A = this chain, B = another copy of it.
Amino acid sequence: MTYATPNATSAPGPDPVIAALADPTRRAIVERLGTAPASVSAIAAGFPVSRPAISQHLRVLGDAGLVTVRAEGTRRIYALAPDGAAPLRDWLDRLWDDALHAFAEKAREEAST
């Protein structure tokens, strides 16, 4: 169920980004990568879950555009995607800004009656 808002600009949408960040472990991975890029094993070493679990999380984060991969020998170095959070930020900004403007408009309107 998508509830596709008739959106003229048809932006990519924040859905996969929010879905990816909804999991605490994935948020922690993102914070870890915020410090510095790291290999899968290096990341997994800092968490109480198995390495495959980390791999699966990285896949979700990658699909959401939040992280990037670079092969280095047999290692896979994951890094934070510089503008991975942009879709989510845009969605938040637009929704809340529009709402605040609408409220201000209404308040002005009522004050003038």
Contact = CB atoms under 8 A, between A and B. Distances in A.
Interface residues of A, number: 37
B80 A99 contact: yes
Given A3-B28, A24-B3, A95-B30, A36 B102 contact: yes
A98 B15 contact: no
Contacts of A69: none
27 contacts: A1-B25, A3-B28, A3-B31, A3-B47, A5-B28, A14-B27, A15-B27, A18-B18, A19-B22, A30-B95, A31-B95, A33-B99, A34-B95, A34-B96, A34-B98, A35-B102, A36-B102, A80-B96, A82-B99, A82-B100, A82-B103, A84-B96, A85-B92, A85-B96, A88-B92, A89-B89, A89-B92
